[in-house]
Chains A and B, each alone.
Chain A
Amino acid sequence: MTNVLKKTMMALLLPFVLVLVWQLFSQMGWLNNYLLPPPSGIIDQLFALAHHGTLLKHLSASLYRVGCGFGLAFFLALPLGFLLGLVPRAQDYLSPFLNFLQQIPAIAWIPMFILWLGIDETSKISIITYSGFFPIFLNTMHGISNTDSKLKEVASTFGLSPWQIIVRVYLPSAAPSVFVGMRLGLSFCWRSLVAAELLGASKGIGYLIQEGRELAQPDLMLAGVLMIGLTGLFLDFLFLRLEKTLLPWRDTQERREVPKWQPF
């Protein structure tokens, strides 16, 4: 418990110091309050937004889009990743094409998606699905195809059928990799959401920032930016907790995460 407390303190130290210095500098008048409003101003703005219910409205609009987009990406990418992971040469065929797609940031697709699907929810959710799909798909596929053949051999000496080997060896062995993909995917969904909302929306956190620009209110823009960071952090934390609960054995092993797929 004290360990958790200590870790939290360590994590909070840097932001705390930064905010403190920023606030001090603002109060000394060393910073232009228009270009860089003080932390207290941003927090006031956040409270005002929360008080009017507008914050909740924008946040829930954004979370709804990410929820749909990520959910869709997950249900498409997971089975496809499993299937192709089981095909030994699938990667040889896919890699060049995926590498091509990897060069294109999701944001570049947004105008095309709007052209195809209209300006409303469909195109936004599609772009989110698009950017969440690849990390989940790729990590799942790699997780499955990197299943230790030594463990497959053990399973086959026990006379397990191919189907049983998939369920009892491939799946658990790919699970950590799937989680890496899901966390990456979620964070990419979250990023492309903001991009999509900046380009055309009537609500959402991205819209809030856009509104701040139009009203020339930097504290509103920064409040939006802060919300994006905090919400993303919170979602990632939830996934980490989920991973810890579902894969307790990972805690005893050394972790090593290689981020794959960086569309931004």
Chain B
Amino acid sequence: MAAFLELKEISKNYTIGSEQIWALRDLSFEVASGELICIIGKSGCGKTTLLRIIAGLEKQTSGEIILNGQALKDTGRERGMVFQEPRLFPWLTLEENIAFGIKGRMSRELNYKTVADLMEMVGLTGFARAWPSQLSGGMAQRAAIARALAVDPAILLLDEPFSALDALTRSKLLTDFLHLWQRTHKTCIHVTHDVNEALTLGQKIIILPSNPGRIGDVISLPFPYPRSLENPELRAIKERVLSQFFADFTD
């Protein structure tokens, strides 16, 4: 498969006070079309920074990102982003929030149908007129996913979308998200700090080292869905991922 999205030696440094810190250093990887990739790493290792650079919300210090053969700069509708928090617009109803990106870009009927379909897909039918402040955290996060999907982006970037939720809601949303991906086969980069989440979802796991500059491990997971984490092969991989985390710690 040809690379759909290609990151070439992406580096990002920030100046904090008088210190230069590297959030990312010479990070390269490729994503094929339709692939579901999980990026995993500890807190502060640059996961959000990486997604924000791909989304165009932040400029890399050096390196290049190629999407479909073209170098990326700035934000664009072909890259959908789901943030760590739902970030719904409080002055819009749920359906207006989901329609935010497509408003005025298609006929009223098509717009309505798209939103209704998405609400059904993420299980929010019946809440069309609710205000964001009336939704639970899980519902709001599902709405945020629907809003990103509404514009039908070529690639969906998800920044720990379920990390703020309780364990039960999280595992339910994880299953829902997996079904959604199996139906749409959208290219996804899913960032998480939860090994189990990465093992449940990812066709490929990229381990972002907490010490930038070290090459992260890339692990392929050629296992069918839905997966059981009791699978011995997956358990072995989990050990491998965890041991890398611990190796990081003792550095």
> What chain A residues lie within 8 Å of B93 (beta carbons)?
249
For chain A, residues 167 to 204, give those with C-beta under 8 angstroms from any C-beta of chain B: 168-169, 172-173, 175
Kindly provide the distance from the CB of A88 to the nearest chain B CB, expressed in whole angstroms: 18
Asked whether, in the complex, the Cβ of B100 is within 8 Å of the Cβ of A158, the reply is yes
Contact A249 to B101, CB < 8 A, known contacts A157-B57, A157-B80, A159-B77: no
- Knowing A150-B85, A156-B57, A175-B91, say if A249 contacts B133 (CB, 8 Å): yes
Contact A252-B131, Cβ < 8 Å, known A154-B87, A156-B57, A172-B89: yes
Residues from chain A with a CB closer than 8 A to the CB of B55 are: 157
| B76 sits at the interface (CB 8 A) | yes
Interface contact B85-A253, CB-CB below 8 Å = no
Contact B89 A159 (CB under 8 A): no
The reply to whether A253 and B90 contact each other, CB–CB distance below 8 Å, is yes
A158-B100, A158-B151, A253-B133 given as contacts; is B57 within 8 A of A153 (CB)? yes
Residues of B within 8 A of A247 (CB): 91
Query: Does B79 count as interface, using CB distance less than 8 angstroms?
Result: yes
Give bound CA distance, A150 to B81, whole Å: 12
Q: Is A104 an interface residue (CB 8 A)?
A: no
Which residues from A are CB-within-8-Å of B92?
172, 249
**A242 sits at the interface (CB 8 A):** no
Shortest CB-to-CB span from B104 to chain A, Å, is 9
B83 at interface (Cβ–Cβ under 8 A)? yes
Bound form: Cα–Cα A154–B81 in Å: 8
Q: Which residues of B contact A252 (CB under 8 A)?
A: 131, 133-134
The number of A-B residue pairs with CB atoms under 8 Å apart is 54
CB distance from A155 to the nearest CB of B (A): 8
A90 at the interface (CB under 8 A from B): no
For window 58-107 of B, CB contacts with A under 8 Å fall at 75-77, 79-81, 83, 85, 87, 89-93, 100-101
Minimal beta-carbon separation of A124 from chain B (angstroms): 37
Number of interface residues of B (CB under 8 A): 24
Minimum CB–CB distance for A144 against chain B, Å: 14
A150 contacts B100, C-beta separation under 8 Å: no
User: In this assembly, does A151 line the interface, its C-beta being within 8 Å of a C-beta of chain B?
Assistant: yes
Of listed B83, B91, B101, B134, residue having the most chain A CB within 10 A: B91
Q: Bound state CA distance, A155 and B148, in angstroms? A: 11
CB < 8 Å: which of A151, A156, A169, A249 contacts B75?
A: A156
Interface flags for A222-263 (1: CB within 8 Å of B; 0: not) read 000000000000000000000000011100110000000000
A249 and B79 contact, CB distance less than 8 A: no
Q: Which residue of B lies closest to A154 (CB)?
A: B87
CB-based nearest B residue for A247: B91
B91 touches A157 (CB 8 A): no
A158 and B101 form a contact (CB under 8 A): yes
Instruction: Please tell me if the beta carbons of B76 and A159 are within 8 angstroms of each other in the complex.
Output: yes
Contact B90 A249 (CB under 8 A): yes
Contacts of A249 in B (CB 8 A): 90-93, 131, 133
Q: Tell me the bound Cα distance from A151 to B151 in angstroms.
A: 17
**Please, how many angstroms separate the alpha-carbon atoms of A159 and B56 in the complex?**
10
Chain A residues near B85: list those with CB within 8 A. 150
Interchain CB contact under 8 A, B75 and A173: no
Q: What chain B residues lie within 8 Å of A168 (beta carbons)?
A: 100
**Which of A150, A154, A157, A159: most chain B Cβ within 10 A?**
A157
B contact residues around A173 at 8 Å (CB): 91
How far is the CB of A75 from the nearest CB of chain B, in Å?
A: 23
With a cutoff of 8 Å between Cβ atoms, the chain B residues found around residue A158 in the complex are 77, 100-101, 151
Given contacts A151-B89, A249-B90, A249-B91, contact A157 B131 (CB under 8 A): no
Contacts of B87 in A (CB 8 A): 150-151, 153-154
Given contacts A159-B77, A247-B91, A252-B134, 4 further A-B contacts (CB under 8 A): A158-B101, A172-B89, A175-B91, A249-B90
The 8 A-B residue pairs whose C-beta atoms are closest, nearest first, are A158-B101, A159-B77, A172-B91, A157-B81, A252-B133, A252-B131, A249-B131, A156-B75
Can you give 23 contacting A-B residue pairs, CB < 8 Å? A150-B83, A151-B87, A151-B89, A153-B57, A154-B81, A154-B89, A154-B100, A157-B55, A157-B57, A157-B75, A157-B79, A158-B77, A158-B101, A158-B151, A159-B76, A168-B100, A175-B91, A249-B91, A249-B93, A249-B133, A252-B131, A252-B134, A253-B131
